[in-house]
Amino acid sequence: GNSVTQMEGPVTLSEEAFLTINCTYTATGYPSLFWYVQYPGEGLQLLLKATKADDKGSNKGFEATYRKETTSFHLEKGSVQVSDSAVYFCAFPGSARQLTFGSGTQLTVLP
């Protein structure tokens, strides 16, 4: 069945450090891929997306590239800020567009 495997957290980084959060998926075909973010006390928000192989999604300095060969969609940011502290979820839609989410990765950025 469909599934998403995310890098386990929590992840703690110093400000301006480089971030990678790994995500691999198992799905039928080549679905669109998403990263959602959940800031403390807030609802889930779409961070970025990619709709086909080799697409790169980007937003707020974050990037992720849809790699069909490795079924991966790793999230990266070159220089994290304290305000990036949140839980990050990798996800993709199923047949009814319902999202299958990974278990989430808690990121804490220290000043």
Partner 1 sequence: DTGVSQNPRHKITKRGQNVTFRCDPISEHNRLYWYRQTLGQGPEFLTYFQNEAQLEKSRLLSDRFSAERPKGSFSTLEIQRTEQGDSAMYLCASSLGGQGGNEQFFGPGTRLTVL
By CB under 8 A, name the binding residues for partner 1: 4, 31-34, 36, 42-46, 49, 51, 89, 91-94, 96-104
CA–CA distance from 102 to each of 22, 24, 42 (Å)?
Answer: 11, 9, 18
Q: In whole angstroms, how close is the CB of 14 to partner 1 at the nearest point?
A: 24
- Residue placing its CB nearer to partner 1 in the complex, 28 or 111: 28
Judged by beta carbon, residue 19 or residue 37, the one nearer partner 1 is 37
- How many Å apart are CA 57 and CA 14, to the nearest integer? 24
